[in-house]
Every structure is written in structure tokens, then in C-alpha cells.
Structure 1
Amino acid sequence: MAEEERATSSDTDQLALRDLVMSDAVRAIHLTIDTEWGSLQQSARQTAAARALWGHVVNDPLADVLAGEQLLQGLYKKMRRDRMSNAKEVSGVMLAIRTLWFDARLQAAIESFGGGHVQLVLLGAGMDARAYRLSYLKETTIFELDFPDLIQLKSDLIRQVVASSDNQTNLTVSSDRLIHVPADLREPNWLQKLTDSGFSPGTNTVWILEGILYYLSYDDAMQVLETIARALEKTAHAVLLADFMNKSAVSLSNDMYQFYSDWPDQLLPRIGFCNVKVSQIGDSDANFGLLTDPENLFERRRKIPRSVDIDSLDGSPCCRLYLVEATESLSGEDS
């Protein structure tokens, strides 16, 4: 699928998909996903669809196959409707910006370590394809931790890409090593499974929690964050990259979202993280030139104090997504 077809086709009613996405093998895998996965796993395909359809800014050669035909068509229709109505923000732009922010901060974190081997831990990795698309991960061991069935079906989809005639770019893993860790973050033994798979607490590490925390219960999310904080105590240098919804955003879909934090920059230091920086969509480091209308929703939210829950202009909830970066724990810094 060409970039202009993925990202800017607003003059036709149909999305041009490459043959591989519509092949019987790929469709069969996504049919299994449709029938067997819950909302937490399904969210992984939504992110992949946004990465595919914002392909002019997000380079992800696997995203369309990982998303599947149905989700691509659904998001494409929303994007086309937004463009035809001159919407101030186009569907999927938040996920595109989120992806670019994590990519940029990941690269900066690796560079800050000053060389040497790095571990990248993707918790709730979903349909993430960073191991295949980011060239700066050459000296990095990547651990993708997620549900066993998700890891298996994702691997099946990637094998279809590698074996297909569409694989003109000779898709390969760009990192030093890619290790799959079948585990459930909601279970307290996930760190032990990560360690059993080769994770070394003493090695420089970047931890990524992208699009996962708000799907967890409060207890489960805090267990994950506290476990990472304890692991950071033994790490030479480490960076946590995560995104948090505020209470207003979670309340829009209590059936899907659970955990929230209105003040992650206060929450994380209490459990041991330091140097916490919080960005919102639309900030200078979380825009990437994709929010061009000065009256877009994200810009409006940025101008409203974070303590305000309701937008006085239209009475709508002030939904926010916080992009958060933190470094090694306070106890680790003192050691």
C-alpha cells in the first residue's frame, strides 16, 4: 500500500489495500482474533490501523497486516469523513502522535546512555513493530511481553509478510535480539518470566508502557508501576516511557478503561521514580506538525488548567492523554 493511498486517499470511497492484507491466510488469522480476543487485546489492532493510515509520518511496514482489513476500512471511513467536513483534527491523529512521541523519546533515551548494549522492554507489546522498523535499535535486545495467544497470532501474521511476494524490502528484525515473553501483566510473576527470558536488571533499559495502563484495574496498574520501580533500583540507567489517561477520559468508557491519573507527575515520584516530565498531545514535543488548525481540540485542552474537569466553552469533559517520561528510581539514584 503506497503512502499516498494509506494516508491521503480522500477522493475515493474505497481504501486501496495491498493483496496480502486481503489474502485468505491473513483474513483467517484476523477472523480468529475477532472471535477470541477481548477489548484489551483488540486495542492493539486499533493502534496498528492508525499507524498504517498515517503512513506518511509513521514508517511501519507491518501495520496494515497487523491491523487487518476490517479495522483499516473502519478508520479510513472516519478519516475520510473528517477530511470532507474539514474537521479540526482527523481520526487517528492522536495515535499517530503518540507513536511518534514514543519513537522520539526512545531514541533520545538510548542516546543518553552514551553507548553500549541496551534493553528495550515493551510491556503489553500488542501489535508493536518497533523491532522491525527502527534502525537505531541495532544494539538493543527487545523483550515483547504480552498474552501468549497475542504473541502467537502476531507472529503468524508477520510470517505471512516475510513469506509473501509483497516483502520487497526484505523485512528483518533490526534489533540485536527480539525475545517474546508470554505473560499476563495482571499476574505478579511477569517480571520473573521476563528475567527467565534473559532480562538483565543491571543493563541500561528503556521500559515502554504504550496504550496499556488505562485498560488495567487500579491495583493491576499500580502493581506494574511498582514492579518497574523496584527493578529500576538495580539498573545502571533506565527510562520509563508511558501514557496515562485522566479521569475525564476514562469516564467516557468505563466498560473499557479503568486506571487513570490526573497527576502522573505526582504519582510516579511517590512510588520511586524521579525526573518525571509530562507532555500533552499538541505540546511542542508532541505535535510533529500534525495539528495544524489552531482551534483543534488538543490545543484547547492544553490552554485549560489540568485541575479543570469541564470545558466551560461547550460543557464537555476535559479528556487528556498524558505522555510521561521518568528516570530511574530515587533509591537507585542514591545507591
Structure 2
Amino acid sequence: MHHSHPTMSEEERHQTPSPAVSPWMEELQLPEVLMSDTVRSLHATIEQDWDFLRRSACQTAAGRALWSHVVHDPVAAVLAGESYLRSLFEKMKQDKLNNAPEVSGVILAVRTLWFDSRLEAAINSFGDRAAQVVLLGAGMDARAYRLSCLKESIVFEVDFPELLQVKASLLKELTSSSNDHQIALIAKSLIRVAADIREGDWIEKLQRCGYVPERNTVWVLEGILYYLPHLHAMQVLEAIAANCTSTRSVLLADFMNKSSISLSNSNFHFYSDWPDRLLPTLGYCHVKLSQIGDPDAHFGLLHDPQNLFNKLRNLPRSIEIHPEDGTPCRRLYLVEASYCQQQDDQ
């Protein structure tokens, strides 16, 4: 559509700043505590000893730290570490300079905000706010330190022992060095459960740490299912369902479709093109599926109609190859489900 500038180049037309874009930080501001010897050596251990799956936790934290105008996470930068912050910052800067339709990390910001909002809604829906929240593959998640909806909830973080240990050490360092009183646990309590969810005994370990199957629970699987082999991912979803029989439970999870896992065969395994059909076969019901960019999953961050996610969500989900450019349709589904026993309560 040409207005009064028929000679305006495509490039110039894209230069118009969008009102929805956040004020951009010109320089990366690193918290001082990142320079301390203890924090540096903890992050050096992560670089040297951790595999891709464990290190992805730092990438997520970097996304939350650098999208701080929408995600208020006071501990994310320290959990992410300097190298992850720098590399994501450089990518974001390039994207801004190139007027990219989506800026690096935006998916992470949207995903975080979606999980935050659905977690709060689930806790409110219980009526009794003293719920349990189980973060599976918790990584560098800091919800227990930042979400006020958790103040009467018990939060369980389930992850590899060495990850939970490093995380606890980083948080301890931050708390002791911080004159900033914001760094405090908001959740009623936080229990770290050292377990590998790919192994069959994680539910027992969770129960030994105080998880009560009879209590209302929100299960959070953010950024984790697609890293698991198909068999393990299914076992995790089945184990959760098996533990929801006598209580109100809500599952919050994100799923990649088949085209997304082909991005990188070595790191991503499990996919589901139709999680809203898969979950009912495992005993879940009231399944609600959103795609990034949907009304409940954009948070004002995906304003460009040329944005990859906006283009995808307007295509039927059965289409695997984008008709315009022949690229695979890589989708991320955000899914909320509850256990079917709830039908009697409603």
C-alpha cells in the first residue's frame, strides 16, 4: 500500500520506529556480582563441564535478563552468566540494526510471560492458594523469587543435582553481595529435588522431598519436553497423569512440532504436531492450545505482521511447508491441560 511516498524504498519504510518496541539499551549493563571470583568460577564450571541440555538453562536465563522491560527477574543475569548475556545481547543488537521482524530472545520472553500468566490463573482457579508448583527440568528458573502469586505455594524444583547445586551457590553469592533487598524468596517455600526426569524414580524422589499427591498442583514443563527422547517424554506425561488422580491438577507445557525438531537433530527429540489430541489419550482434558502470537501469547511483543509467528499461526496446522517461501513450518505450541477427574467438580 503506497501512501504519499511512492519513491520510499522498502528499507526506509521499515525504518519507521514501531511504538511497541522497547527503549533499547545501547550498552550491556552487567551486574557487579558477575565479576566476583566465585561467580566467575561457577560459570567457568558450567562452560567446561555441562552438556547442551544443562547449558540451555543459562540461555533461558539470559533471555529473561535481557528482556527485562517485560520479564521482571532480578536474579536472571547472575544465573545466565556473562558469556550468555554478551552473545544474546550482540544478536539482539544486530536484529535491531537490521530491523528484523523478530528480535532474538522474543520467543523466550513470550514463553516466560505465557507460563507466568497461566500459572497465576491456575493457582487462582484452585480457590485454595496453598498449591504445590512442580517445575520439572527447572534449570535456572527463578519464579519462586519473582512471582507474587506463589506466596502461599510450595515450589519444587526438579533437576540434575549439579545444576541445582551451582544455582544455589550463585543465588547465595548474589544474596550476600546484594544491597538490593529484592532478592528474597517469595514462594512460601522452595524445595530442590535432585533427580533426572529421564529416569523412572523422579516421582518417588519428589514425594520423599514432601510432594503430596492429594494437594492441588501445577506441573510446569517449560522448555524441556523436546530435549527428551520420545519414550522419556511420554513417561513423564504419563507419570504426571498417574499422580493427578485424587486432586485438581493443571499441566503447563510447551511442545515443538516435527518441523521444529528437525532444526537440530542432535539436541531435540520429542515432538507432537497435535498435543491437543495426544494429551486426552493420556487422561488429560480441558486441553487449551495456543501458538506464539495468539491473543493470549504475544504480550504486545509481536507487532510486525511479517513476523514468522504471525505468518505461521494464520496457516492451518496441518500444513508442513510454508506456501510462500517453501520453508518448514516450525511451530511451538503452548498447552494448558487439566486432569479429567475435574469434570466431576465443575
Name the TM tier (shorter chain). Answer: over 0.9
Q: Which deviations, in whole Å up to 9, do the C-alpha atoms of 1:23-77 show, x marking residues without a partner?
A: 2211110000111111111111111000000000000000000000000000000
From 118, 124, 127, the equivalent of 2:137 is: 124
Whether 1:84 aligns to 2:109 is no
Whether 1:309 aligns to 2:320 is yes
Q: Which deviations, in whole Å up to 9, do the C-alpha atoms of 1:61-108 show, x marking residues without a partner?
A: 000000000000000000000000111110000000000000000000
2-side partners of 1:99 and 1:25: how far apart? 28
The offset of 1:234, in angstroms, is 2.4
The offset of 1:257, in angstroms, is 0.3
Amino acid at match of 1:185: I
Residue 30 of structure 1: SS of its match in structure 2? helix
Aligned equivalent of 1:73: 86
Aligned equivalent of 2:60: 47
Matching of residues 121-200 of structure 1 within 5 Å:
121-164=134-177, 166-200=178-212
Whether 1:274 aligns to 2:285 is yes
Residue 133 of structure 2: SS of its match in structure 1? strand
The offset of 1:292, in angstroms, is 1.2
Q: Which deviations, in whole Å up to 9, do the C-alpha atoms of 1:118-142 show, x marking residues without a partner?
A: 0000000000000000111111000
1-side partners of 2:265 and 2:182: how far apart? 43
Cα 1:269–1:204 shift into 2, 3 Å: same
Amino acid at match of 1:78: K
1-side partners of 2:325 and 2:86: how far apart? 31
Aligned equivalent of 1:3: none
Deviates more, 1:87-96 or 1:17-26: 17-26
Aligned equivalent of 2:297: 286
TM-score under structure 2 normalisation?
0.91
Query: Could you tell me whether the CA contact under 8 Å between 1:125 and 1:145 is conserved in 2?
Result: yes
1-side partners of 2:64 and 2:242: how far apart? 33
Aligned equivalent of 1:218: 230
Name stretches of at least 5 consecutive residues in structure 1 with no aligned partner.
1-6
Aligned equivalent of 1:246: 257
From 98, 122, 126, the equivalent of 2:111 is: 98
2-side partners of 1:215 and 1:136: how far apart? 29
Query: Could you tell me whether the CA contact under 8 Å between 1:247 and 1:261 is conserved in 2?
Result: yes
Aligned equivalent of 2:240: 228
2-side partners of 1:279 and 1:69: how far apart? 33
2-side partners of 1:302 and 1:209: how far apart? 22
Moved segments of 4+, more than 2 Å: 7-11, 330-335
Amino acid at match of 1:63: A
Aligned equivalent of 1:29: 42
Residue 277 of structure 2: SS of its match in structure 1? helix
The offset of 1:117, in angstroms, is 1.4
The offset of 1:167, in angstroms, is 3.8
Aligned equivalent of 2:330: 319
What is the aligned-residue identity percentage? 57
Cα 1:53–1:281 shift into 2, 3 Å: same
Aligned equivalent of 2:16: none
Query: Could you tell me whether the CA contact under 8 Å between 2:74 and 2:182 is conserved in 1?
Result: no
1-side partners of 2:246 and 2:291: how far apart? 30
RMSD: 1.3
Name stretches of at least 5 consecutive residues in structure 2 with no aligned partner.
1-21
From 252, 263, 273, the equivalent of 1:262 is: 273
2-side partners of 1:173 and 1:88: how far apart? 37
From 191, 203, 213, the equivalent of 1:201 is: 213
1-side partners of 2:246 and 2:220: how far apart? 18
The offset of 1:9, in angstroms, is 4.2
